[in-house]
Amino acid sequence: MLNLSWSPILAQAASPVSPDPASPDRVSLATRGLANRFEEATGLPGELAMWTVNIGLAILIVLAGYVFAGLVRNAIKGLLARRKIDATVGDFLGNLGHAGVMAFVIVTALEKLGIDTKTFAAVIAACGLAIGLALQGGLSNFAAGFLIIVFRPFRKDDVVLAAGVEGVVEEVQIFSTTLHTPDNKKIIIPNSSIMGGIITNYTANPLRRAELVMSVGAGHDLNHAHEVLLALAKSDPRVLQNPAPEVVNVKLVEGGTQVQLNAWCRTPDHGALMSSLISRAPGAFASAGIRGPDKSVVFVERK
C-alpha cells in the first residue's frame, strides 16, 4: 500500500520544473565572477567593478565584431571575384555585409551595457519623422548606389566624368563613390549626385577617337594640309588603320580655315597619342610650309 506521506514529493517531482527567471545564466555567472575578481584586485565597489567589466566586454565585442565584419567583407569580395563578377559589385556588397555585421555588433554591445535595445528602438520609432527627414539624403544615396550596381554606368578603374568631376573610379560604396583625379586628389561624391546628372565614361568602349584641330592660313592648299596630317597620323603605330584616319574641314575662321584630324586608337593609348599629335603637328606644318591664319588687325579710332 502506497505511503501517502510520499505523495506531495512525488507530485512535485512529476510536475514540470519552471526555471527561476531571476537565476543568472552561465554568461552572467562568468561576468559576475570576473567582476568579483576585478573588485578584489582593484578594491572598487561592486557596482562600479561590474560596470567596468561590462564596459570592457562591450569594447571587446565591438573590436572582435569589427574584425569579423572585415573578414565577412573580404570573404564576399573574394567569393564574387572568384566567380568573375565585376569588382564594383563585390565592393558594394562587401561594404553592405560589413555594415550589417557592425549593426548587429553595436546592438549586442549596447545590451551588454545594460541598455534596453527595445526601449532604444521605441525612442527611434517615436522620433521616426525627424530621423526619416535627416536620413532622406542618405537613403537617396543608398538607392542611387544600388542603381549604379544594377545598371553599371561605370566599373572600377574606369575613367569617368561624373557630377562635374573627372577621374578614375576607385570604389563604389554604399552611400558614395570615390574617384582618383589625374592630379592625385581623392574625390568622394554622393551617389545621388552621380545618378542625378550626366555621366561620361571615357573607357567604356575599347576604341576612342583622337581629334586634333589645326588652323590653316588663307591662301594655303587645304588638300596639302590634309595630306600632311594624314601622314603624321599614319606614322604613329598607335593609330589604327581600320577605321582609317581622316581629315575634315571644320569651319572658316578669321584669316583661314580649321581642319580636324580624326585618328582612332585603343582606349588606353588615347592620352599618349593626343600628346604626341599635339607636339608634332606644328612642326609638320612648318616643314611643309603651311602657316596659320594671319590675325593681325589694325584698329582706327575716329575722332
Task: Provide the whole-model pTM.
Answer: 0.60
Residue 293 lies in a domain: no
Same domain, 107 and 67: yes
Same domain, 172 and 251: no
Same domain, 84 and 118: yes
Distance separating alpha carbons of residues 227 and 46, to the nearest angstrom = 94
Residue 261's Cβ-count burial label (10 Å; 0-12, 13-18, 19+) is buried
Residue 301 lies in a domain: no
pLDDT of residue 186: 97
pLDDT of residue 35: 57
Asked if 226 and 244 count as a contact pair (C-beta separation under 8 A), the reply is no
Cβ-based neighbours of 59, under 8 Å, separated by 6 or more: 109
Cβ-based neighbours of 249, under 8 Å, separated by 6 or more: 222, 257, 258, 259, 260
* Total domains, the chain: 3
Asked if 142 and 192 count as a contact pair (C-beta separation under 8 A), the reply is no
Residue 269 lies in a domain: yes
Distance separating alpha carbons of residues 39 and 46, to the nearest angstrom = 6
Residue 172 lies in a domain: yes
Residue whose C-alpha is closest to residue 194's, from 215, 224, 172, 216: 172
Same domain, 224 and 279: yes
Same domain, 121 and 37: yes
- Identify the domain containing residue 275 by its residue range: 207-287
CATH code assigned at 112: 1.10.287.1260
The 3-state secondary structure of the chain, one letter per residue = CCCHHHHHHHHHHHCCCCCCCCCCCHHHHHHHHHHHHHHHHHCCCHHHHHHHHHHHHHHHHHHHHHHHHHHHHHHHHHHHHHCCCCHHHHHHHHHHHHHHHHHHHHHHHHHHCCCCHHHHHHHHHHCHHHHHHHCHHHHHHHHHHHHHHHHCCCCCCCEEEECCEEEEEEEECCCEEEEECCCCCEEEEEHHHHHCCCEEECCCCCEEEEEEEEEEECCCCHHHHHHHHHHHHHCCCCCCCCCCCEEEEEEEECCEEEEEEEEEEEHHHHHHHHHHHHHHHHHHHHHCCCCCCCCCCCCCCCC
CATH code assigned at 190: 2.30.30.60
Same domain, 34 and 113: yes
Asked if 161 and 202 count as a contact pair (C-beta separation under 8 A), the reply is yes
Same domain, 217 and 185: no
pLDDT of residue 52: 75
Alpha-carbon Rg for the chain, nearest whole angstrom, is 36
> To which residue does cell 600628346 refer?
275
Same domain, 117 and 70: yes
pLDDT of residue 134: 57
Distance separating alpha carbons of residues 186 and 179, to the nearest angstrom = 6
pLDDT of residue 107: 82
Same domain, 80 and 106: yes
pLDDT in tens, the chain (303 residues): 444 443 443 344 334 434 444 444 555 556 666 656 655 666 566 566 677 777 888 888 889 989 998 898 889 888 888 887 777 778 888 888 888 888 888 888 887 777 776 766 666 666 655 556 555 677 888 899 989 988 899 999 999 999 999 999 999 988 999 999 999 999 999 999 999 999 999 999 999 999 999 999 998 999 999 999 999 999 999 999 999 999 999 999 988 999 999 999 999 999 999 999 999 999 999 999 999 987 654 434 444
Same domain, 233 and 274: yes
Residue 266 lies in a domain: yes
Asked if 135 and 121 count as a contact pair (C-beta separation under 8 A), the reply is no
